[in-house]
Amino acid sequence: MKFIGGVFSVLKNTTWPTRKQSWHDFISILEYSAFFALVIFLFDKLLNLGLTDLLSRF
């Protein structure tokens, strides 16, 4: 039972983010996700164009 008491002690001493910080973190995750999706999309397009050009030469 000491384990459960320790868990509640840790949870009690944990500082939780405010609503404003939670929204800031959520927006940051969306921005990073959009950025990497764009990078992957552009890389895919460049790779596709390169392969299409390479295949059209043969």
Helix/strand/coil percentages in the chain, nearest 5: 85, 0, 15
pLDDT, residue 1, reads 65
C-alpha gyration radius of the chain = 24
pLDDT in the model for residue 6: 92
Each residue's pLDDT tens digit in the chain (58 positions)? 689 999 999 999 999 999 999 999 999 999 999 999 999 999 999 888 887 776 777 7
User: pTM for the whole thing?
Assistant: 0.62
Q: Where are the domains of the chain?
A: 17-56
Structure tokens, 39: 């990078």
Chain-centroid distance of CA 50 in Å reads 28
pLDDT for position 50: 82
User: How far apart are the C-alpha atoms of 4 and 1, rounded to whole Å?
Assistant: 5
Q: Which two tokens stand for residue 22?
A: 């939670």
